[in-house]
Amino acid sequence: MNTSELWIGGKEQKSSTGEYFDDLNPSNSALIARVAKGNADDVDAAVSNAKETFEHFKDSEVRQREKILCDAASLVERDREIYMDLLVNEVGSPQMKAAFEVDYCINAFRAAAGVPRRLVGQTMPLDRPGAFGMSIREPVGVIGCITPFNVPLLKNVKQIAMVIATGNTSVLMPSEFAPQVTVQFAKTLNEAGLPGGVFNYVTGDPAEIGDFLTSHRDIAAINFCGSPRVGQHVANIAAKSLKPITLELGGKNPLIILNDADLDKALEAAMLGIFFFQGQACMASSKIIVESEIAQRFIPAFVEIAKNIKIGDLSDPETAIGPIISSRQADRIKSHVADAIEKGATLLHGGDWQGNCCPPTILSNVNSGMAVYSEETFGPVTSIYTVDDLEMGMQLANDTSYGLSCAIFTTNISSAMRAAKKSGAGMVHINAMSIQDEPHIPFGGNGLSGFGREGTDADLDIMTKWKWITMQID
């Protein structure tokens, strides 16, 4: 039986509890591994190790950090199939999604490798005669990282690559549904030559160890990705000790299709935007807003696409929808759909589940009294709304507490830019799907979608601090 331990100080460590929990394949509930169940003592050990390591790593040579990051990228490239298999078996990723995540990881490591030589400051004139002023960026210390189940490799590299690039250290708490991806990630970093203690992880029950990690006195900053409910809780903890924090939370993302849109491209964006990784994506297009004229062609064509999407067998590269990650999440999806139908929504497609797989589900006649209207379902479920014009469409798009991603399809540049300006989302995509991410862009949203931004340059806001230095020359 495969057993995985904690990773502290560059090596495996048994947990203080001596206890383990099951890591299960979401497709068939088969046991993947027994995973060490850490506690507060383990978190404390990891943070202490990271703090001690930081005193040396903060002054590491630029070329050392560059090489580690470049070597890590090459190792992920070499071990592509290992990572692909983990993402398919541990979190139920269709092969297309798994491939996207591996490619992202490789690119993110290489993007971060360009950062160490760009940690530049400023020189500035001062009022005092004979005085010279400068500002420099310094690493902040130990960064607490919390990653979700849906894109575990992507979020691991997104958070940790920049920790390395900026000369910080880290303690990661991975999702309890995706620990083996993190185990392999640690092996990659270790083989790439990362000094022990720069990257540490503690697996376990998030409810038991999450608060201790985020409130630890030696955690200098927090990078969190997860649900709005937990994100708000973590933000409250961080506020008590004035810790800087980045929150990447959920979304209720609109896809707006105007009458002049390219129908084929809009259909493809709608299909990928909501059914990618069975809708378990924060940027999923769960609100499809269509102008009335094109709606007559879009709706039946979209339903037909949904009917032909392959479900279930993740060994088939053509399969687009795999299992929902847990019974708790499955219950949430079922309750949202049932609530909508009970309150008058029309089910255009969907219905019988195939084991743990939810079929592509399309609703119409959805109103604000239904949970699916305002809450993130986090499954392959979308609602179609027909509107008279762009103004009405933008009102509907912005009628949400979230503000992550927005997509609009139109051939009119004026309409496109008007929508982009009016959108309350942190990211707007014109003639492209709502699911977009690259390592170097400022990724993030507003409202319940979080605050702060991720990305090689944006990460400097939380992973470095400014210091002003003056020198009297005369």
List the one residue out of 283, 35, 24 whose CA is nearest residue 151.
Answer: 283
Phi first, then psi: give them for residue 315, nearest 5 degrees: -75, -15
Tokens read off for 84: 């692909």
| Active site amino acids | 248, 282
Secondary structure of 343-364 in HEC code, one letter for each residue: CCCEEEECCCCECCECCCEEEE
Secondary structure of the chain in HEC code, one letter for each residue: CCEECEEECCEEECCCCCCEEEEECCCCCCEEEEEECCCHHHHHHHHHHHHHHHHHHCCCCHHHHHHHHHHHHHHHHHCHHHHHHHHHHHHCCCHHHHHHHHHHHHHHHHHHHCCHHHCCCEEECCCCCCEEEEEEEEECCEEEEECCCCCHHHHHHHHHHHHHHCCCEEEEECCCCCHHHHHHHHHHHHHCCCCCCCEEECCCCHHHHHHHHHHCCCEEEEEEECCHHHHHHHHHHHHHCCCCEEEECCCCCEEEECCCCCHHHHHHHHHHHHHHHHHCCCCCCCEEEEEHHHHHHHHHHHHHHHHCCCECCCCCCCCCECCCCCHHHHHHHHHHHHHHHHCCCEEEECCCCECCECCCEEEECCCCCCHHHHCCCCCCEEEEEEECCHHHHHHHHCCCCEECEEEEECCCHHHHHHHHHHCCCCEEEECCCCCCCCCCCCECCEECCEECCECCCCCHHHHEEEEEEEEECC
Q: How many CB atoms lie within 10 A of CB 120?
A: 8
Q: Is 211 exposed, middle or buried (0-12, 13-18, 19+ CB in 10 A)?
A: middle
> Strands 446-447 and 427-430, how do they pair?
unpaired
Give the separation between CA 383 and CA 252, rounded to whole angstroms: 11
